[in-house]
Chain A
Amino acid sequence: MTMAPGRALKLDPIKSIKKAPEEEYYQSGHRTCQGCLSALPMRLMAKAAGPRTIVLGTTGCMYVANTTYMSTPWVVPWMHTQLGAAGSAAVGTSAGLKALMRKGKMKDEPINVIAFCGDGGGADMGLAAISAALTDVEYNLLIFLYDNESYANTDIQTSGQTPWGAVTTFSPPGKKHRIMQRRWKKNVPGMLAAGHPDTKYIASGTPAIPVDMMDKVRAALSAGGPTYMHVLDPCPKGWHYDPEHSTELGKLAIETGIYPLYEVKEGVCNYTGTTRQIAQGRRERKPVREYLEKQGRFAHFKNQDFAYFQKKVDEMWEQWIIPGVIAFSYGGPLNITSEKAAIRNNNVERDNASWAGDRPGHAHEELEGDGGLDREWVDDNALGDPSSGN
């Protein structure tokens, strides 16, 4: 039997770090910051995907600091693409391979196509192109969004993925406004999963939990069609912490329930790892404060800010129809006769922190006598990074 051109490569789960392939397809040559957890997922992703892979990458730290002329770290073929073009780069590459293989102009074999992008490139500028790519079901591709929660390469600016309240160079705390970043982080993997019912695989992961991340890459590549992965990557420079805490922070993001791990496979959502334990009530969520306090970007937080942040995360767990995935509840009733019509939060009265008008920190006046941590925010990266600057 001849297989359809452009078919997906089948990759088995790795399951344990000891069983991960030894070969590296992303090697030395990059010059990212020490403790950069955006570079690590590149390495893990390439390792999981293997040699029959083409990688495309948007502008950002993983281009400017990562892929320098004459010292590329990429062992597999790699090509730059424009900041908002991860989706279209993946589609064009995959479509090109498919056409050539079908027409007998290129050897017919499965080749992985992975386009990575940062949160700025993917979740802001390139969201429309990613959305379009996820509807192009004929093409095998993986969009891999490495989320370091800022436009890092241009010197840490607020993106649609920057957490509420975080300090960036576009949201410095000041005398009048303590909190300049007042937008809640967009729920990108959930949004993409909800909006693209034909996409066979969408997952969230983090390099802090490498096997889970690599197996999700493999599941995505094996699924066939367009797929998406969102990967949370602690960034010492942008989040203001000592590089040695990168992995710890990645894990804390999950343990506090701020960043849930899950996969949506052929229309079925399942939590993975620690998030699954939390969801099944086998584990308590840690207070968000444990995660936030370890990062300089939240050093200006007062008690009320921690409280607000906690309330938003609680809300995500207690009121979302699928906690951490689908950002609304259901007003019902629903007239479904099937036995499976179990809908969460039927007729729930929603007390949404961001609608209740009690967003703290927008002006210092509100703070008198607040009694929070009396910390001044200091820019510990004041001199910037020589590798940044696009």
Chain B
Amino acid sequence: MTMQETEERGGRGTEKLMTGTQAVAQAVRLADVDVTAAYPIRPYDGVMQAVAKLIADGDLDAEYIVAEGEHSQFEICKHASAVGSRVFVGSSGVGWMYAMESLAVTPSLRLPVVAMIGNRALDDPGAFGVEHNDAMAVRDLGWQLVWVENAQECFDATLMAYRVAEDPRVSFPVGIGVDGAFITHSQTLIKIPDQEMVDEFLPPYDLGDRLLHPDNPISIAPQANEDWVMEIRKQTDDAARRVKGVIQEAHDDFKRIFGRGGDNPFFEEYMTEDAEYVLFGMGSLSLPAKVMVRRLRDRGEKVGFVRLKWFRPFPTEEMVETLTRFEAVGVVDRDYSYGSPKQGGVLFTDLRAALYDAEVRPRLVNFIGGLGGRELTPEMMDDMADTTRRAAAGEDVPTVRWIGVRE
């Protein structure tokens, strides 16, 4: 296919102004989801309002169950998935934590549930705004986690999520991290492809011989104990190792069909070609980060920005290859990990581990900021860039610093 054809195909469909949650709902419609369950909590629940309207208007044919709590919400979808339904579910903050037991068993059952997490600070004290600790609480359990930057990526990542989750080599749940308010509730113009293109990208959900049905009378998850649990965990680990390859394949198809998605599925580089140091982070902070990069570049700074998309699987090799080009990397965490090795954030801790084996390692500094939904301003980005620049220059700077905290 020529470039022009790709562009034409990408242009097929419609263009609409939408919030992040509305964009996810459009992908849910085009994925022809069969069962969804809702429970209210801000900021994710805009998506459930949008899905409800799609069903009410006859644009989506799905069971819409209003659960009596998130535990049930996620259990309902897990079980619907086991009988062969494509499901959509989601939550935020303490709601996500309330579902934790169900969140833990779903990847062990290898069921491809797709969930949107409208990232929100955990209580107490109450805060509606974004923090990533909710979604990150499942990072060790087999949930594949992708973070998005805007409404278009909300849409794209949702389709990608179904494709990756349901691939028989994977069969894991996928969580889409959508920064509360900044992305869930802000509108951008997005491209919505037509059904035919989506069908080309996303095959029907097929559990094969794992389907729970009277014609396939299997017993799912009997008590295994020490006799078999190790083997079962190892199988799950093997699958986890396959996810990256499947994401790459899906990304290539996505690009071919929709003409979008960037150079690689795992991360985005912004003005990094000759950069000496970069800031690194996930989600909506890319907007002020990019403003910062452009501003500082005007002043001759060799600064860039790298935005991680897939946090699970963590693209270790790619990170080593990319980030070792720079003298220093400033990791911006919209989360915390009290008592962790360097008392830094989760992303920072993981990235340090990923780079440990690299022959040449950049200096890594960590910034904890934007917690509880506080804005990360371009000025804060300047400040973080400056510390990272000084680290690159070999100056003595603190490894971890909290940004924008009142004394």
Asked if A77 contacts B214 (CB within 8 A), the reply is yes
Residues of A within 8 A of B227 (CB): 69-70
List residues 213-259 of chain B with CB under 8 A from any CB of chain A.
213-214, 216-225, 227-228
CB 8 Å contact bits of B197-217 with A (1 = contact, 0 = none): 000000010000000111011
Asked if A88 contacts B72 (CB within 8 A), the reply is yes
Residues of B within 8 A of A67 (CB): 219, 222-223
Asked if A89 contacts B220 (CB within 8 A), the reply is no
- The interface centre, meaning the residue of B72, B73, B84, B220 with most chain A CB atoms within 10 A of its CB, is B72
- The interface centre, meaning the residue of A64, A96, A97, A136 with most chain B CB atoms within 10 A of its CB, is A96
Asked if B76 contacts A88 (CB within 8 A), the reply is yes
The answer to whether the Cβ of B81 comes within 8 Å of any Cβ in the partner chain is yes
Given contacts A69-B227, A79-B82, A85-B102, is CB(A129)–CB(B34) below 8 Å?
no
Residues of B within 8 A of A85 (CB): 71-72, 75, 102
Chain B residues with CB under 8 Å of chain A are 32, 34-35, 37, 61-63, 65, 67-69, 71-73, 75-85, 87, 101-102, 105, 204, 212-214, 216-225, 227-228
Q: In whole angstroms, how far apart are the Cα atoms of A283 and B83 in the complex? A: 48
Interface residue tally on A, bucketed by range: 35 or more
Query: Which of A99-107, A234-242, A261-269, A309-317 contacts its partner?
Result: A99-107
The answer to whether the Cβ of A54 comes within 8 Å of any Cβ in the partner chain is yes
Asked if B223 contacts A92 (CB within 8 A), the reply is no
Q: In whole angstroms, how far apart are the Cα atoms of A101 and B218 in the complex? A: 20
Closest to A79 in B: B220
Asked if A105 contacts B84 (CB within 8 A), the reply is yes
User: Which DSSP category, helix, strand, loop or mixed, fits chain B's interface?
Assistant: mixed
Q: In whole angstroms, how far apart are the Cα atoms of A96 and B69 in the complex? A: 19
Given contacts A52-B214, A89-B79, A92-B76, is CB(A80)–CB(B69) below 8 Å?
no
Asked if A81 contacts B34 (CB within 8 A), the reply is no
Q: In whole angstroms, how far apart are the Cα atoms of A93 and B84 in the complex? A: 9
Closest to B63 in A: A95
What distance in Å separates the Cβ of A50 from its nearest Cβ neighbour in chain B? 9
- The interface centre, meaning the residue of B101, B222, B223, B225 with most chain A CB atoms within 10 A of its CB, is B222
The answer to whether the Cβ of A78 comes within 8 Å of any Cβ in the partner chain is yes
Closest to B32 in A: A103
Cross-interface CB contact of A93 among B101, B105, B212, cutoff 8 Å: B212
Asked if B223 contacts A99 (CB within 8 A), the reply is no
Residues of B within 8 A of A79 (CB): 79, 82, 212, 219-221
Q: In whole angstroms, how far apart are the Cα atoms of A97 and B83 in the complex? A: 7
The answer to whether the Cβ of A75 comes within 8 Å of any Cβ in the partner chain is yes
Given contacts A77-B212, A77-B213, A99-B62, is CB(A92)–CB(B79) below 8 Å?
yes
What distance in Å separates the Cβ of B359 from its nearest Cβ neighbour in chain A? 45
The answer to whether the Cβ of A72 comes within 8 Å of any Cβ in the partner chain is yes
- The interface centre, meaning the residue of A67, A85, A99, A129 with most chain B CB atoms within 10 A of its CB, is A99
What distance in Å separates the Cβ of B235 from its nearest Cβ neighbour in chain A? 13
Closest to A73 in B: B219
Asked if B71 contacts A129 (CB within 8 A), the reply is yes
What are the 6 A-B residue pairs with the smallest beta carbon separation, nearest first?
Answer: A92-B79, A96-B80, A92-B76, A72-B219, A96-B85, A88-B72
Asked if B78 contacts A75 (CB within 8 A), the reply is no
The answer to whether the Cβ of A51 comes within 8 Å of any Cβ in the partner chain is yes
Asked if A69 contacts B224 (CB within 8 A), the reply is yes
Asked if A100 contacts B222 (CB within 8 A), the reply is no
Q: In whole angstroms, how far apart are the Cα atoms of A99 and B216 in the complex? A: 19
The answer to whether the Cβ of A345 comes within 8 Å of any Cβ in the partner chain is no
Asked if A77 contacts B80 (CB within 8 A), the reply is no
Asked if B214 contacts A51 (CB within 8 A), the reply is yes
Asked if B68 contacts A96 (CB within 8 A), the reply is no
Q: In whole angstroms, how far apart are the Cα atoms of A202 and B357 in the complex? A: 63
Asked if B78 contacts A92 (CB within 8 A), the reply is yes
Asked if A93 contacts B217 (CB within 8 A), the reply is no
Residues of B within 8 A of A81 (CB): 75, 79
Query: What 10 additional pairs, Cβ within 8 angstroms, besides A63-B223, A80-B223, A99-B63?
Result: A68-B222, A79-B79, A82-B75, A85-B71, A93-B80, A93-B82, A95-B35, A96-B82, A105-B204, A131-B68
Closest to A55 in B: B219
Asked if A87 contacts B84 (CB within 8 A), the reply is no
Asked if A129 contacts B68 (CB within 8 A), the reply is yes
Asked if A88 contacts B79 (CB within 8 A), the reply is yes
Cross-interface CB contact of B69 among A54, A97, A128, cutoff 8 Å: A128
List residues 248-302 of chain A with CB under 8 A from any CB of chain B.
none
Residues of A within 8 A of B220 (CB): 77-80
Residues of B within 8 A of A76 (CB): 214, 217
Asked if A128 contacts B68 (CB within 8 A), the reply is yes
Q: In whole angstroms, how far apart are the Cα atoms of A85 and B83 in the complex? A: 16
List residues 178-221 of chain A with CB under 8 A from any CB of chain B.
none
Q: In whole angstroms, how far apart are the Cα atoms of A67 and B218 in the complex? A: 12
The answer to whether the Cβ of A303 comes within 8 Å of any Cβ in the partner chain is no
Asked if A53 contacts B214 (CB within 8 A), the reply is yes
Given contacts A52-B214, A77-B219, A92-B77, is CB(A132)–CB(B67) below 8 Å?
yes
Residues of B within 8 A of A8 (CB): none
The answer to whether the Cβ of A84 comes within 8 Å of any Cβ in the partner chain is yes
Residues of B within 8 A of A136 (CB): 65
The answer to whether the Cβ of A145 comes within 8 Å of any Cβ in the partner chain is no
Q: In whole angstroms, how far apart are the Cα atoms of A95 and B55 in the complex? A: 15
The answer to whether the Cβ of A116 comes within 8 Å of any Cβ in the partner chain is no
What distance in Å separates the Cβ of B208 from its nearest Cβ neighbour in chain A? 14
Asked if B68 contacts A99 (CB within 8 A), the reply is no
What distance in Å separates the Cβ of A270 from its nearest Cβ neighbour in chain B? 30
Q: In whole angstroms, how far apart are the Cα atoms of A318 and B318 in the complex? A: 76
Given contacts A69-B228, A74-B219, A85-B71, is CB(A95)–CB(B212) below 8 Å?
no
What distance in Å separates the Cβ of B158 from its nearest Cβ neighbour in chain A? 19
Q: In whole angstroms, how far apart are the Cα atoms of A99 and B222 in the complex? A: 27
Residues of B within 8 A of A72 (CB): 219, 222
CB 8 Å contact bits of A95-135 with B (1 = contact, 0 = none): 11111101101100001000000000000000011011000
